[in-house]
A and B are shown apart, each in its own frame.
Chain A
Amino acid sequence: MPELSYREAVRDALATAMRQDDGVFILGEDIAEMGGSMGVTSGMLEEFGSERVRNTPISEMALAGAAIGAAMQGMRPVAEIMYEDFMTLAAEQVVNQAAKLRYMSGGQLTVPVVFRTQGGAGWSPGAQHAQQLEAWFVHIPGLKVVFASTPEDVRGLLWSSIYDDNPVVFFEHRTLYGIKGEVPEKIEPIPIGKARVHREGEDVTVIATGRLVHESLKAAEEAEKQGVSVEVVDPRTLQPLDEETLVASVKKTNRAVVAHEAVTRMGFGAEVASVIQYQAFDWLDAPIERVGAKFAPLPFAPVMEQFIVPHSDDVLAAIMRTVGRNGD
């Protein structure tokens, strides 16, 4: 099996779709000559030309609107929003237009658009360039929301997102672009709404997204040394949520930790915790633990940034609390 970086895997899905399908094109700020601020679309201008790799003005609202319009006309555009912090500027188009049009037109319109965006702390970008805002979008009926954590998943899920007839907000994580992983020879679509069990375990289920999947896998290894067997599950698709897989895992282990980089309060993990407590209430042997960023804007100072966002030792501590005896 070939090995790709997360960045290359995103590019591979985009380029492969564009090669086989004239309806697929990409647009965004600095995606052409510059190859995107994260280098994801590097080299695509040369292969596909400026008609299909379109630089846009610095207006997220305009480029999101253009993508939605193209989608309504039958294209499958993939818009890049440089930082998910800037999704705030595109929100009117994404939330009020893309998410609503199919419903409000009685199904006469479909909006098969993908909004690719990225974020995440760990490289000191400060409070305005590293937020994790997925919770804002899972709250909107009409949107699908994907957050992939491995090269294989990001490629297969981006493919499915491009070919989904509904608008998809597709989150990538800044610090994952460099990670490498094996991918199938040929792109295998990964169904939207299907979680992935990364590691099986008996005592505690950790449900993690994005960077925290990797932190949780590290924590699981450490827990194993301490005699606690941990199952790590990545929902991959936040909306729709694969409740069945999550609940089945917790029913097996009787304990759950939910981990993401976004702030804990009102976060995606709160919804997961609610789903679990309701569907697996009689199987829970400990309160559901949540791991996430402290409730504060991200500081520039690296030490402070590290203090705010969660790491594997935070996940490990949460795991231990769920199996704890007489407190910790």
Chain B
Amino acid sequence: MATEVKLPRLGQGMESGTIVRWLKSEGEAVQKGEPLYELDTDKVTQEVEAEANGVLLKIAVPEGEVEVGRTIAFIGKEGETVAAQAPAAPAPKQEKAVEAAPERAAAPEPEPEPQTTNGRIKASPLARRLARERGIDLAAVRGTGPEGRIVAEDVERSEVTGGPAPAAAPQVRSAEVSSTPLSSVRKTIARRLTQAWTVPAFMLTVSADMSRANELIARRRELEPDVRVTVTDLLTKVCAQALMRHPDMNVQFTEDALLSFPNANVGIAVAAPQGLVVPVVHGAEQLTLAQIAQARGDVVGRARDGKLRSEDVEGGTFTISNLGMFEVDQFVAVLNPPQASILAVGATRDQVVPVDGELLVLPLMTMTLTCDHRAVDGATGAGFLKTVKSFLEDPGLAL
């Protein structure tokens, strides 16, 4: 009996994934634990391992988006035959969708989500045509018609408000404009950052004298040239320590409760080829600078290679976005929901600063902290930022 390979749920909230490519072809032998195919979810692209030994008998879904739980391939004995068609989505799901209908009618109106039934989006034929012509993904359009049906107006509105923007305005037909379908990562970035934009946020800016921090980094590199410690690593450590001193900062706002986290899981914004991803260094408060550098090198490297695992990007409680290497003086970062704060870090520059009546030239680094004001008060954010500044200016204080 052949083993069905089903699309796994790789994280909470994962409903579907996009099969990028198969790493084995039909008829090829497969060992349990061997990478079988590449899967693009809304968080990461990763290789998924085979869960059985045998021969890859059939690939039911060569590529494209598939809902979780669907059979995408069969592994079995050489020569074994399998049903020509992969079984469709499991039947109970359909029943559930049917049952859900009256319930939805009776329930108080929920925030309309893209209406799908077993992955089928409810949209009028006209809406479908407009979306097709303008390259709009209906999955990202909110339906306002009866029972949440997407009607033409919704498609037009989504285009105006730049929901998932079409690659080109339809009227302007220019030879240079190219249209690229949105990747899962790009859709997720758009959705989450749009969500972030609805959060009431405040920003605090401070500059830190980086003289001692730079000395510390230089000394570490001297001692352990193999582990290349960076400013970001030091910031990760310093922020983790500061979060421990200011537990009111290590929180998340939910509709019902404020969540406080015991560990400082620090996310680092990385410009990966497929788009922005934020791998997380978990429990950074317990790691040494060298350990952080290693963990950071590991996840960032995998982010750049598109090989992140779900757990690499989950559970962050704070994010650092460092654009100093791009010579940016200072900037304001958009929150990374559901996290309550993010630190935007600029380049370190020599500046003339009056100190005790004297003019000194100091390497200053400007940082801007963005906070979710629903979860964090201004003074809390300011206190945290002051601690970060003092730790950077005198790293010994972080001990």
Contact = CB atoms under 8 A, between A and B. Distances in A.
Interface string A282-305: 111110000000000000000000
Contacts of B152: 254, 285
Interface in A251-288: 254, 281-286
Contacts of A284: 124-126
Contact of A286 (B144, B148, B151): B151
Given A285-B151, A326-B146, 18 more contacts: A281-B125, A282-B125, A282-B128, A283-B125, A283-B126, A284-B124, A284-B125, A285-B125, A285-B127, A285-B153, A286-B124, A286-B151, A324-B145, A324-B146, A325-B146, A326-B109, A327-B146, A328-B146
Interface string B353-373: 000000000000000000000
A321 B109 CA distance: 19
19 contacts: A282-B125, A282-B126, A282-B128, A283-B126, A284-B124, A284-B125, A285-B124, A285-B126, A285-B127, A285-B152, A286-B124, A286-B146, A286-B151, A325-B144, A325-B145, A326-B146, A327-B105, A327-B146, A328-B146
A207 B151 CA distance: 22
A286 B148 CA distance: 12
A39 to B, nearest CB: 47
Nearest to B155: A285
Interface in B129-168: 129, 144-148, 151-153
A281 B127 CA distance: 11
Interface of A is mostly: loop
A324 to B, nearest CB: 6
Nearest to B124: A285
Nearest to A280: B125
Q: Which of A283, A286, A328 has the most CB of B within 10 A?
A: A286
B145 A286 contact: yes
Interface of A: 254, 281-286, 321, 324-328
A286 B127 CA distance: 10
A280 to B, nearest CB: 8
Q: How large is the interface on B (under 10, 10 to 19, 20 to 34, 35 or more residues)?
A: 10 to 19
Interface in B93-110: 105, 109
Q: Which of A283, A285, A324, A328 has the most CB of B within 10 A?
A: A285
Interface of B: 105, 109, 124-129, 144-148, 151-153
- 6 closest A-B pairs by CB: A282-B129, A285-B126, A285-B124, A327-B146, A285-B152, A284-B125
A326 B115 CA distance: 12
Contacts of B128: 282
Contacts, number: 40
B320 to A, nearest CB: 43
Nearest to B153: A285
Contacts of A283: 125-126, 129
Contacts of B144: 325-326
B147 A327 contact: yes
A26 to B, nearest CB: 48
A321 B149 CA distance: 13
Contacts of A281: 125
A254 B152 CA distance: 9
A178 to B, nearest CB: 40
A254 B109 CA distance: 27
Nearest to A284: B125
A96 to B, nearest CB: 41
B136 to A, nearest CB: 15
Contacts of A282: 125-126, 128-129
Nearest to B144: A325
A282 B109 CA distance: 29
Contacts of A254: 126, 152
Nearest to B127: A285
Nearest to B147: A327
Nearest to B133: A282
Contacts of B147: 326-327
Contacts of B127: 285
B388 to A, nearest CB: 48
Nearest to A286: B124
B231 to A, nearest CB: 52
Contacts of A325: 144-146
Contacts of B126: 254, 282-285
Nearest to B146: A327
A303 B124 CA distance: 38
A324 B144 CA distance: 9
Contacts of A321: 146
B130 to A, nearest CB: 9
Nearest to B128: A282
B39 to A, nearest CB: 34
A284 B125 CA distance: 6
A254 B126 CA distance: 8
A205 to B, nearest CB: 13
Contacts of B148: 326
B154 to A, nearest CB: 10
A328 B145 CA distance: 10
B248 to A, nearest CB: 41
B172 to A, nearest CB: 23
A177 to B, nearest CB: 40
B153 to A, nearest CB: 8
Contacts of B153: 285
A327 B145 CA distance: 7
Contacts of B146: 286, 321, 324-328
A91 to B, nearest CB: 39
A68 B148 CA distance: 56
A282 B132 CA distance: 11
A326 B105 CA distance: 10
A327 B152 CA distance: 16
